[in-house]
Amino acid sequence: MMKQTLILLTMGLFFLAACGKAPEVIQGVVTGYDPASKTVMLQDEQEPHRDLTFSLQQAEIGAEPAVGDSVRLSYRTQGETLLALRVMNLSQRSELQKKGSH
């Protein structure tokens, strides 16, 4: 019985560690985009409206961002790098929805 409890406890701890911390989410306006270096610069819509640069090396990207677009992205901090995981272009999405409603 003790061995089974120890195994279950170990498995539970393993699964908790595997889940890790949930990614952070930010929304703002694109102030720069460089497809060659796979980076996007974003001004956070929340105070104090920080200007942040995200690496897109591993990101899933819907519609390609352009300066002035409103985007939402999920990311993780890896050392000093903000590593985007997913980029949703809200401006392009609303434009597509408007076209589809005609």
Measured in residues, the chain has a length of: 102
The pLDDT value recorded for residue 21 is 81
Q: How far apart are CA 18 and CA 37, in angstroms?
A: 30
- Give per-10-residue mean pLDDT for the chain (102 aa): 69 60 94 96 94 96 93 95 96 62 53
Torsion of CA 92, 94, 55, 34, to 10 degrees: 30
To which CATH superfamily is domain 23-100 assigned? Copper binding periplasmic protein CusF (2.40.50.320)
pTM over 0.85: no
Give the SS3 label for residue 16: helix
